[in-house]
Amino acid sequence: MKKEIQKAEKLNTMGELAASIAHEVRNPLTVVKGFLQLMQKDDKDQRHPYIPLVLSELGRAEVIINDYLNFAKPEFKQLEHFSLAQILSDVCVLLNALAVKQGVELKREGAAEALLLTDRNQLRQALVNVIKNAIEATPSGGTVTVSLSLSGDQAVVSIADTGKGMTPEQLSRIGTLFYTTKDKGTGLGTTVSVKIIESMQGKISFKSEPGKGTEVTLKLPLHKKMNISY
């Protein structure tokens, strides 16, 4: 028991350290990005063709840093009532470009509506991470289906893909910090999503079969004010 507590404290300190480094690094990155964008504007005759590449790598660094910050210290800035159906549609529109690029059909199903009260941006982030993984796991010609239904006092979101699926061993590691099977993966996305959903007093579960696909189910309490302390 004592060991567990010590471990938790250690993790917390590491999290704080990581967060402060991430925070400090983010500012100079923003400055560099700004100047590069200016250079790109001035470079009409394309003497520096590598600028888009540098900008895209900077964008990647930014995403990683933001994920770290979110993991170490998710901030629930603003509680508001919003439509879950609307957020799901927004996120699907946002990720459709990625799906099209991969030859994956991203479908939004179900006409249910759910009103939630929580931080909209955090929920959006949690959904983006999970749906992005589904698209990334699905080969060209496959489908990712995002649906919403209601069950008692809970909203149920299902994200089902026809992708490569996970073995029981992989499934047991999902959500563990830094667990990734991708070349350029960070292993942060799922961990952040789990943390966000759980801090909204929701539940997230994964069902998967290798070669067949994965279904992620999110359950979120309806209406009721969500506890935001951790």
Out of Mg ion, ligand ADP, none, which partner does residue 118 contact, by CB within 5 to 8 A per kind? none
In 152-202, DSSP assigns E strands to 154-161
* Cβ atoms < 10 Å from Cβ of 98: 14
CA distance linking residue 163 with residue 169, whole number of Å: 17
Q: Which of residues 121-150 bind Mg ion (CB under 5 A)?
A: 133
Residue 164 or 195: which CB sits closer to ligand ADP?
Answer: 164
CA angle at 52 for the pair 49 and 54, rounded to the nearest 5°: 100
Q: Which of 181, 210, 224, 225 binds ligand ADP (CB under 6 A)?
A: 181
Interface region with Mg ion, contact rule CB under 5 A, candidates 83-91, 110-118, 137-145, 182-190: 182-190
Residue pair 117/199 in contact by the 8 Å Cβ criterion: no
Interface region with ligand ADP, contact rule CB under 6 A, candidates 2-10, 115-123, 183-191, 219-227: 183-191
Instruction: Identify which of 214, 136, 127 has the alpha carbon closest to the alpha carbon of residue 182.
Output: 136
* Cβ atoms < 10 Å from Cβ of 83: 14
Residue 122 or 133: which CB sits closer to Mg ion?
Answer: 133
Interface region with ligand ADP, contact rule CB under 6 A, candidates 3-11, 19-27, 189-197, 220-228: 189-197
* Cβ atoms < 10 Å from Cβ of 105: 16
CA distance readout (Å), 3 to 7, 23, 108, 168, 176:
6, 30, 46, 28, 19
- 220 contributes a contact to ligand ADP by CB under 6 A: no
- 163 contributes a contact to Mg ion by CB under 5 A: no
Interface region with ligand ADP, contact rule CB under 6 A, candidates 8-16, 34-42, 76-84, 172-180: 172-180
Out of Mg ion, ligand ADP, none, which partner does residue 220 contact, by CB within 5 to 8 A per kind? none
SS3 at position 175? coil
CB of 173 to ligand ADP, least distance (A): 8
Residues that bind ligand ADP (CB under 6 A): 129, 133-134, 137, 161, 163-166, 174, 179-182, 185-191, 214
